[in-house]
Amino acid sequence: MKRFVIAVAAAVLVFAFGPGAPAFAQSSKPFVAMCTDTNGLGDGSFNDGVWAGLKKAEGEGLASVKVLEAHSMTDYIPNLTGLAEGGSKLVFGVGFLMVEQIQEAAKDEPNTFYAGIDDYFGGNVPRNLIGVSFREQEAGYLAGIVAGEMTKKYYKNSKLLNDKNVIGAVLGMNIPPVERYLAGYIAGARSVDPTVDVRFITVGSFADRAKGKEAALALNDQGADIIIQLAGLSGMGVIDAARERKFFAIGADVDQNAAAPDYVLTSALKGTTMSAYLLIKDLAAGTLKGGENRVFGLKEGAIDIAPFHQFDSIVPAEVKQAVADAKAGIASGKITVPSTLAELGIKQ
């Protein structure tokens, strides 16, 4: 009897709190879910961005939504497939680091759409799988223009800048989205300042703030006065370093000005929110197509650069014009931004 009671209690708990809570499955609106990578919500990056897209869709009555956070890489597959078994029509797998797992989940659950954020699938993409990637290089390019102009021509505009023609970048890991950002950043800086010296350090983690700081300090020791962070939570360390040593940091993915308003010059913006929202909109309208890669860029409204906030007055109109021209050029296809370091002739 006791065992039976425990079994019933366990079953109730599973149904009440498990990934497939019936309340979602029976809703008339499609149930859309996302799995974070191990950084989880609060990364100030794509996890938060995609979740905001889901919430936006929910707010407009397009879907009911849910998020599952992964604590280790072994959670990826159970989370991805569990959500499908719970009735989810579209599951977002966030981050390049689960590119293998999402393909496996898509094979196991053919009746659910899977969208891999930051993934680009080669070959035959299964008809229920969508690769969502971004032309980060375009955002990097805009940030690079600002950095290249400010470090050379306008260094006298701020005490945070020095007379050396050096800028820097701190990378989390060497993965394609990060490389695209960096390639664009270097190309953008070189487009306005051909002799600029761009130095970069990979810290090997997206969650090591102290090491991110150390990398930024090392770059600053070599004269870099503007450093872009491409390192997730490790990037918070770049902002720590900027505050301590008094130089400019450039944020990435979302507007990071609030983290240190006196030191964050601008941010390279990547519209994960927009991409997630657009896919859900397609799903609700019944027009969502799988089996393909969707690439979002400036033209699609998913790439931009953040405002300069309190530094608006020290960034000259000429620089703002250069950014605006670059945007127009990229949108019209006149400017193609390189997406790999190899295209720039940089050996790695």
The site for other proteins (CB under 8 A) is made up of: 39-44, 48, 71, 168, 171, 174, 199-205, 207-211, 213-215, 217-219, 221-222, 233, 236-237, 240, 243-244, 259, 347-348
The DSSP line for 144-180 is HHHHHHHHHTTGGG-TT--SS-EEEEEESS--HHHHH
For other proteins, the closer CB: 75 or 109: 75
Q: Could you tell me the smallest distance in angstroms from the CB atom of residue 348 to other proteins?
A: 6
Side chain identity at 141, as an amino acid letter? Answer: Y
Q: Could you tell me the smallest distance in angstroms from the CB atom of residue 42 to other proteins?
A: 3
Q: Could you tell me the smallest distance in angstroms from the CB atom of residue 239 to other proteins?
A: 9
Q: Could you tell me the smallest distance in angstroms from the CB atom of residue 24 to other proteins?
A: 22
Give me 293's structure tokens.
């890669």
For other proteins, the closer CB: 97 or 125: 97
Q: Could you tell me the smallest distance in angstroms from the CB atom of residue 7 to other proteins?
A: 26
For other proteins, the closer CB: 40 or 126: 40
Between the alpha carbon of residue 115 and those of residues 142, 205, 255, 257, 281, the distances in Å are 27, 24, 24, 30, 14
Quick check: helix, strand or coil at residue 269?
A: strand
Q: Could you tell me the smallest distance in angstroms from the CB atom of residue 307 to other proteins?
A: 21
Task: Name which of 234, 242, 275 is nearest 119 in CA terms.
Answer: 275
Side chain identity at 74, as an amino acid letter? Answer: T
For other proteins, the closer CB: 25 or 341: 341
Q: Could you tell me the smallest distance in angstroms from the CB atom of residue 260 to other proteins?
A: 8
Handedness of CA 185, 186, 187, 188 (dihedral sign): positive
Between the alpha carbon of residue 323 and those of residues 46, 141, 252, 265, 338, the distances in Å are 24, 9, 17, 14, 17
Q: Could you tell me the smallest distance in angstroms from the CB atom of residue 165 to other proteins?
A: 13
Instruction: Kindly state the DSSP code that residue 261 receives in the 8-state scheme.
Output: T
Task: Name which of 304, 309, 310, 308 is nearest 320 in CA terms.
Answer: 308
Task: Name which of 136, 169, 137, 147 is nearest 265 in CA terms.
Answer: 147
Give me 214's structure tokens.
């150390």
Q: Within 10 A of 100 (CB to CB), how many other CB atoms are there?
A: 12
For other proteins, the closer CB: 208 or 225: 208
For other proteins, the closer CB: 221 or 287: 221
- Cβ atoms 205, 172 nearer than 8 A: yes
For other proteins, the closer CB: 244 or 325: 244
For other proteins, the closer CB: 124 or 348: 348
